[in-house]
Amino acid sequence: MDSAKVFFKSVKSYSQTEEISRGARQLLEKVVAEENIKLSKRIPLKVHFGEKGNTTFIGPENFEGIIDYLDERKIDSCFIETNVLYVSPRTTGKSHMALAKEHGFTRLPAVIADGETGEDYAEVEIDANHFGKCRIGRLIAEEKQLIVLSHFKGHMLAGFGGAIKQLGMGCAARGGKLDQHANAQPAINPEDCKKCMTCVSHCPRKAIEVSNIPKIDRKKCIGCAACIAACPQEVFYVDWASTSPVSFRQKLAEYALAAQKGKSNIYINYALNITKDCDCDGRAQKPIARDIGIFASTDPVAVDAACCDALNKKEGKQVFGGFDIFDYAEEIGLGTTEYELSEI
Ligand code: SF4
Ligand code: SF4
């Protein structure tokens, strides 16, 4: 695979909102011009609305310049996201959109791509090592082009989280997230059950039976994770400990491949407010590294690799692990780690 172009704008501090907004727009213009990109009539912005209580996610004020650029060209857009696996305001569509509003994502419509409880997905064929098909949020799968806006930061399993994670995890429907994270089916804490039967009515495969205790028929269960979202007692959960980090990263890369398939995306990474844990963590975290700036490319692997290299160079040490994902992402054709960096 040929090397990819990555464009970079230095920003001294996350507090420089206008500079960030303007810089992101300049990078978008640069990528479009240099890569000769044909813009679609509709281009959703794939974002992360930030978990409730998280204070270091990339706020919508930093996307103003990009939205202005689309507005001036009369390109239809929205903020697009998918529901999460764990129990939080981001578990279901309505409360997820309410949180988006609370966090200031109001200039464009907020769209949850995988439905109210994460049940709405399209299967995208990739025929890779872990997955033949991936469950991508339907409204994302149906788009032809996305601008993927990612916060570059850490994650307990991925090691880092930029464009690849925003694609792989961020575009997967809830069942697809479960596929990546664990043994594809929820674990159960049966002693917390109050026998309300909500899970039974939400399970699309009639795989749950609640007599004395709730049980899942493992042959019927498709791992859609709807029960995790539906149960008010948090009886169903993801068994994170059963997840192998290397296998997780490979699965993440395969899902990213599916989410990208057939699309001419643009990736913009904000290497600012760099925290050890991800924006799904509902705590106020402190940045663990100095702010660097914004990176843009049409290649999700190259843009993440450029962020990692810049971070390690700036800090004088390897800050995050998990770099085996790059080799795997290259192997399956998601992108390349060979890049040419141009500062604007
Ligand atoms: S038990 Fe039912 S609701 Fe829960 S993951 Fe399996 S199929 Fe989905
Ligand atoms: S939704 Fe939860 S509490 Fe209600 S019956 Fe199912 S497992 Fe029990």
CATH code (residue 326): 3.40.50.11440
Whether 163 and 254 map to the same domain: the answer is yes
Nearest to 114 by CA among 151, 78, 140: 140
Query: What is the per-residue pLDDT across 164-186, written as a single tens digit (0 to 9) for each?
Result: 999 999 999 988 998 887 655 78
Whether 175 and 200 map to the same domain: the answer is no
Helix (H, G, I), strand (E, B) or coil at 71: helix
- Judged by average pLDDT, the poorest of 104-113, 221-230, 332-341 is 221-230
- Assess whether pLDDT exceeds 80 at residue 331: yes
Whether 305 and 320 map to the same domain: the answer is yes
Beta pairing class for 293-297 and 266-271? antiparallel
Kindly state if the Cβ of 230 falls inside 6 Å of ligand 1: no
Residue having the nearest C-alpha atom to atom 3 of ligand 1: 203
Ligand found nearest the CA of 211 = 2
Distant-in-sequence, close-in-space partners of 201: CB < 8 Å, separation ≥ 6: none
Whether 105 and 32 map to the same domain: the answer is yes
CATH code of the domain containing 196: 3.30.70.20
Distant-in-sequence, close-in-space partners of 339: CB < 8 Å, separation ≥ 6: 3, 4, 5, 6, 297, 299, 302, 303, 305, 306
Ligand found nearest the CA of 227 = 1
Distance CA 159, CA 139 (A): 28
Centre of ligand 2 from the C-alpha of residue 189, in Å: 10
Output the ligand 2 site: residues, CB below 6 A. Answer: 193-199, 210, 214, 230-231, 233, 235
Q: Which of 237, 252, 277 finishes a domain?
A: 237
Kindly state if the Cβ of 170 falls inside 6 Å of ligand 1: no
Whether 210 and 261 map to the same domain: the answer is no
What pTM does this model have? Answer: 0.86
Whether 228 and 291 map to the same domain: the answer is no
Kindly state if the Cβ of 118 falls inside 6 Å of ligand 1: no
261: how many CB neighbours lie within 10 A of its CB? 14
Q: What is the predicted pLDDT for the residue at 181?
A: 74
Distance CA 156, CA 55 (A): 18
Centre of ligand 2 from the C-alpha of residue 232, in Å: 7
Q: Which range marks the domain in which residue 203 is found?
A: 185-237
Helix (H, G, I), strand (E, B) or coil at 340: strand
Ligand found nearest the CA of 196 = 2
Tokens of 123: 């299967």
Domain count for the chain? 2
* CB burial of residue 316 (10 Å; 0-12, 13-18, 19+): exposed
Whether 128 and 223 map to the same domain: the answer is no
Query: What is the per-residue pLDDT across 66-79, written as a single tens digit (0 to 9) for each?
Result: 999 999 999 999 99
Residue having the nearest C-alpha atom to atom 6 of ligand 1: 221
Whether 228 and 152 map to the same domain: the answer is no
- Judged by average pLDDT, the poorest of 33-42, 190-199, 203-212, 220-229 is 220-229
Distance CA 299, CA 163 (A): 9
- Atom of ligand 2 at shortest distance to CA of 202? 1
Nearest to 205 by CA among 219, 194, 221: 221
Q: What is the predicted pLDDT for the residue at 92?
A: 92
Kindly state if the Cβ of 302 falls inside 6 Å of ligand 1: no
